[in-house]
Amino acid sequence: MKNKISISIIFVILGILIILAPTVIFPVCPADMKMRCQYTKQAEIGIGILIAVLGAASFFFTEKVRAGISIAVAGIGALTIAIPTTLIGVCGSDMMACNNATRPLLVVLGVLTILVSVVNSVYLLKIKEV
Amino acid sequence: MQDSFLIKSVLKKKRKNIPLVALITILSFVLIGGSLFILVLGNGLKGLQKRLGADIMIIPAECENTAESLLMEGSREYFYFDRDVSESIRNVPGIDKITEQFYLASLSADCCTSKVGIVGFDPDTDFIIEPWVSEKAKGKMGKDKAIVGSQIKVEKDNTIRIFGRSYSVIYRLAETGTSLDTSAYFTMDSVPQLIADAESKGIKFLDSQKRDNMISSVFIKLKDGAVDSDVARDIIRSQETDVDILYPEAILSSFARNAGHIASVAYAVLFVVWLVAELILLIAFYISACGRKKEFALLRVMGLSRDHLVSNIVKEALLISVAGFIVGGFLSAITVFPFGRYLAYKLSFAYVTPTVPETFFIFLFALLVSIVSGMIASAIPIFKIFRLDEYSALREEE
């Protein structure tokens, strides 16, 4: 029960933070400028929603399904990192907030998402099984 | 077997050990953050020092502040005067070298999502830019060639596209952490072409920028023994128009002094944090050693040698120190390093990304200090063990 509640809450918080990172915490360049960071923002909002929804959903399922959800979230965490770094990217100048603040924040949130989901799936599949 | 017992014993005493691990966590976090700050400050200064090779800089009158921010932060602003300024000072005594530069206000170009500072310079007389360019440069500077700052995106075929035209890049400068990194350097004869290309893309220019004989600044290197203020006075006398004089070297040395003061404050803060953490550790280990007298005595009576007991205490302190360092290191890895550039930008100081060996040494330093701090604190229980009288210790507790 403890694991169920805590993991659901952590995933929902991480999802919300991924949505807030390019919109509220370190907003990317204005929408009228049609820059790469704009598309990164849109993609990350989608990813954030997905992680939050999976987090909320995992509350209602058994341990094995939760482990599966965690593995999926780990993959989505990798996407969180790949979008601002390689898949879409951000603006080139490191004087811009999307480059020096939004991107590192998304990378950190992605790393945390992967870390939490991998540890959780290992815990559910190995330790709990034993 | 022994070690797993040790880990279990450390984990069991959560109430005592978690605050100690937290303390080491704070200590290593502050050490890593502080060392990075001092390193970045020093690196930024070194980068600037390399780039300010002139003793005197002549700029149009009333442009002193803009020119100063240009030198220190690399901001590109409009200011122009006639090339005659440079011609008329050739006979001023004390001058060794003279070179001119032309700045074009930051413009968005094809190569970059951000604005690029365009600098025109004369490779024949230049002593400001050439020294930064190492021997690895691909060929000599000339028309349609460029030297670019570290942040300018270079195409795979080693060219940059600016306003629809390609320029081959002969060298990419090292990072300075200022907007010099987003500058591109061209020869003076490329400048009219750049202006024409930019105009054809719809960018408006002032008439003063389009005239062929306009420059933005004159840099002067003095002969040995020449006094800068005397030369500056002669320069102003030789001019018909009003000009301002800047002393880049003097600005830099005052900046270096300030940076030096900030670094010493940072060192002092690091030392104080370490001292406070060490004192708390010493007190914590002292209290714990007093409370564990019976435990030590029992272990001794059960046949554990003094050396074994001492090694257990040392291992315990080591475990706490390393655990604290791992947590502190992780926290700083996800906060200080990713957001260093953002913080530096907000605090207006140059951020040069630390190299891998530099980062490694910062973490190693924090690890060593954490371990040494733990070891020093463990000296108290060790001392207690050597003075332990098992019989009375066991009796006392009864």
Residue A82 clears pLDDT 90, i.e. is over it:
yes
Nearest CA in chain B to A108: B334
Are B325 and B370 in contact, with CB atoms under 8 Å apart? yes
Predicted pLDDT at B37: 85
Residue A83 clears pLDDT 90, i.e. is over it:
yes
Predicted pLDDT at B1: 46
Residues B228, B220: Cα–Cα separation, whole Å? 10
- Among A92, A97, A111, the residue with its CB nearest the CB of B151 is A92
Residue A121 clears pLDDT 70, i.e. is over it:
yes
B113 with A107: Cβ contact below 8 A: no
Q: Please state the rounded mean pLDDT for residues B248-268.
A: 81
Are A88 and B111 in contact, with CB atoms under 8 Å apart? no
- Among A100, A105, A108, the residue with its CB nearest the CB of B341 is A100
Residues B236, B240: Cα–Cα separation, whole Å? 8
Coil, helix or strand for A127? Answer: helix
Express as a percent the part of chain B with pLDDT over 90.
Answer: 7
B179 with A35: Cβ contact below 8 A: no
Which residues have CB under 8 Å from B313's CB, separation 6+?
A: B378, B381, B382, B385
Q: Which of A105, A108, A104 is nearest to A116 (CA)?
A: A108
Q: Which residues of B338-367 are buried (b: 16+ CB within 10 A; e: fewer)?
A: bbbbbbbbeeebbbbebeeeebeebbeebb
Beta pairing class for B95-108 and B217-222: antiparallel
Predicted pLDDT at A86: 92
Beta pairing class for B95-108 and B81-82: unpaired
Are A22 and A41 in contact, with CB atoms under 8 Å apart? yes
B334 with A111: Cβ contact below 8 A: yes
Cα–Cα separations (whole angstroms), residue A55 to A4, A24, A46, B31: 10, 21, 14, 36
Cα–Cα separations (whole angstroms), residue B367 to B77, B215, B318, B336: 46, 53, 11, 16
A95 with B182: Cβ contact below 8 A: yes
Q: Is B158 exposed, middle or buried (0-12, 13-18, 19+ CB in 10 A)?
A: exposed
Within 8 A of A35 by CB-CB distance, chain B residues are 113
Interface size between A and B, measured as CB pairs under 8 A: 45
Residues B345, B17: Cα–Cα separation, whole Å? 38
* B99 strand-pairing partners: B219
Average pLDDT, chain B: 80
Q: Which two tokens stand for residue B379?
A: 């000296």
Q: Is B311 exposed, middle or buried (0-12, 13-18, 19+ CB in 10 A)?
A: middle
Within 8 A of A108 by CB-CB distance, chain B residues are 334-335, 338
Are A93 and B108 in contact, with CB atoms under 8 Å apart? no
Give the model confidence (pLDDT) of B154-196 as tens digits.
877 888 888 878 888 888 887 776 667 778 888 888 888 888 8
Q: Which of B53, B103, B99 is nearest to B75 (CA)?
A: B103
- Among B153, B179, B338, the residue with its CB nearest the CB of A95 is B179
> Which own/partner pairs from B310-317 qualify as long-range (CB within 8 Å, at least 24 positions apart)?
B310/B382, B310/B385, B310/B386, B312/B2, B312/B6, B313/B378, B313/B381, B313/B382, B313/B385, B314/B375, B314/B378, B314/B382, B315/B3, B315/B6, B316/B6, B316/B9, B316/B10, B316/B378, B317/B285, B317/B374, B317/B375, B317/B377, B317/B378
* B246 strand-pairing partners: B57
- Gap from B141 CA to chain A (nearest CA, Å): 25
Largest CA-CA distance found in chain B, in angstroms, rounded: 99
Predicted pLDDT at B172: 84
Give the model confidence (pLDDT) of B356-382 as tens digits.
999 999 999 999 998 998 888 888 888
Q: Which of B2, B7, B1, B33 is nearest to B322 (CA)?
A: B7
**A34–B contact, CB cutoff 8 A:** no
Residue B398 clears pLDDT 60, i.e. is over it:
no
Q: Which of B44, B345, B219 is nearest to A98 (CA)?
A: B345
Nearest CA in chain B to A101: B342
A91 with B114: Cβ contact below 8 A: yes
Give the model confidence (pLDDT) of B272-328 as tens digits.
988 988 888 888 888 877 777 777 788 888 887 888 888 888 888 888 899 999 999
Question: Given 3-state DSSP classes, what are the helix, strand and coil percentages for chain B, each rounded to the nearest 5?
Answer: 60, 15, 25
Beta pairing class for B115-121 and B217-222: unpaired
Within 8 A of A100 by CB-CB distance, chain B residues are 339, 341-342, 345
**B113–A contact, CB cutoff 8 A:** yes
Q: How confident is the model at residue B51 (pLDDT cuts 50, 70, 90)?
A: low
What's the domain range around A57?
Answer: 2-129
Number of independent structural domains in chain A = 1
A100 with B151: Cβ contact below 8 A: no
Residues B360, B357: Cα–Cα separation, whole Å? 5
- Gap from B347 CA to chain A (nearest CA, Å): 12
- Among B112, B339, B345, the residue with its CB nearest the CB of A92 is B112
Give the lowest-confidence range in A28-42, B106-120, B131-145, B378-392.
B106-120
Nearest CA in chain A to B176: A94
Beta pairing class for B217-222 and B214-215: unpaired
CA angle A108, A112, A114 (to 5 degrees): 115
B153 with A92: Cβ contact below 8 A: yes
Predicted pLDDT at B136: 66
For the whole model, what pTM was predicted?
0.71
Q: Please state the rounded mean pLDDT for residues B140-147.
A: 81
**A35–B contact, CB cutoff 8 A:** yes
Cα–Cα separations (whole angstroms), residue B373 to B64, B75, B309, B318: 50, 45, 20, 10
Chain B, 277 to 306: residues with Cβ < 8 Å from chain A are none
Which residues have CB under 8 Å from B205's CB, separation 6+?
A: B195, B198, B199
Q: Which residues of B283-306 are buried (b: 16+ CB within 10 A; e: fewer)?
A: ebbeebbeebbeebbebbeeeeee
Q: Please state the rounded mean pLDDT for residues B240-246.
A: 79
Predicted pLDDT at B396: 67
Which runs of E-coded beta strand occur in chain A?
none
B281 residue type, one letter: L
Give the model confidence (pLDDT) of B188-237 as tens digits.
888 888 888 888 877 777 776 667 778 888 888 888 888 888 888 888 88
**B330–A contact, CB cutoff 8 A:** no
**B348–A contact, CB cutoff 8 A:** no
DSSP label at residue B130 = G
Which residues have CB under 8 Å from B129's CB, separation 6+?
A: B119, B121, B147, B185
Q: Which of B346, B366, B343 is nearest to B37 (CA)?
A: B343
- Among B114, B153, B335, the residue with its CB nearest the CB of A96 is B114
**A95–B contact, CB cutoff 8 A:** yes
- Among B115, B335, B341, the residue with its CB nearest the CB of A94 is B341
**B334–A contact, CB cutoff 8 A:** yes
* Helix spans in B13-156 (H): 14-51, 64-73, 84-88
